[in-house]
């Protein structure tokens, strides 16, 4: 049997992740059946589960990618910029329904909660480091602990995700994010 190259394996894994992202976004976790995953990826269940031990592992891989992408933006530009990107480039955020699924599973699935907590720490850490840097530069409110500001921004992010995932209008949302940003900045 010929050996499969690392590039081929990486391309196949990417194909699976891209197809699964579309499937989870359209049908949610429960609705993303193996048959639908096969149709979305164009691959057999054997090929899919050769790369991922089960549907949970596949879903967590997608969730981790999303958290990493958001962490990169949050580390450089802040969590509010992540939210602004959601508004200005909705085509990049087809996974919003997936975030809602993550929230549901965090509440109802202790095993998932344990794995997700480990994986989502990167976004939290990146945002916290950025907030600390902003506070040291005198740009962030001094009257609130940084972890309170982080919790506030997380709540706003969750609310925006819910708003966008439900298909509601984004009219006026930039002004809302301006208000959020102003509320955490140090007054002049």
Residue-range domain boundaries for the chain: 1-52, 54-184
At how many degrees (to 10) do helices 55-77 and 79-88 cross?
Answer: 110
pLDDT at site 94: 64
Q: Which regions of the chain are under pLDDT 50?
A: none
In words, the CATH class of domain 1-52 is mainly alpha
Contact in structure between 21 and 94 (CB atoms under 8 Å): yes
> How many angstroms separate the CA atoms of 49 and 55, rounded?
8
> How many angstroms separate the CA atoms of 129 and 180, rounded?
19
pLDDT at site 182: 95
Tell me the torsion sign for CA atoms 26, 28, 31, 33.
Answer: positive
pLDDT at site 24: 87
CATH topology of domain 54-184: Tetracycline Repressor; domain 2 (1.10.357)
Give the distance from CA 134 to its chain's centroid: 23
Same CATH fold assignment for domains 1-52 and 54-184: no
């Amino acid at each position: 049997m010929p050996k499969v190259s690392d590039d081929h394996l990486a391309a196949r894994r990417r194909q699976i992740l891209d197809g699964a992202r579309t499937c989870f976004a359209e049908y949610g976790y429960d609705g993303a059946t193996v048959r639908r995953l096969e149709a979305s990826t164009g691959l057999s269940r054997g090929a899919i589960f050769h790369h991922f031990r089960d549907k949970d592992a596949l879903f967590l891989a997608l969730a981790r990618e999303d958290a990493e992408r958001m962490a990169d933006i949050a580390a450089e530009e802040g969590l509010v910029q992540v939210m602004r990107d959601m508004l200005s480039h909705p085509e990049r955020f087809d996974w919003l329904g997936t975030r809602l699924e993550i929230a549901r599973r965090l509440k109802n699935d202790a095993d998932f909660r344990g794995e997700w907590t480990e994986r989502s720490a990167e976004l939290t850490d990146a945002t916290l480091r950025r907030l600390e840097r902003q506070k040291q530069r005198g740009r962030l409110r001094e009257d609130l602990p940084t972890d309170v500001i982080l919790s506030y921004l997380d709540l706003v992010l969750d609310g925006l995700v819910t708003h966008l995932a439900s298909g509601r209008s984004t009219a006026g949302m930039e002004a809302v994010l301006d208000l959020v940003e102003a509320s955490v900045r140090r007054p002049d």
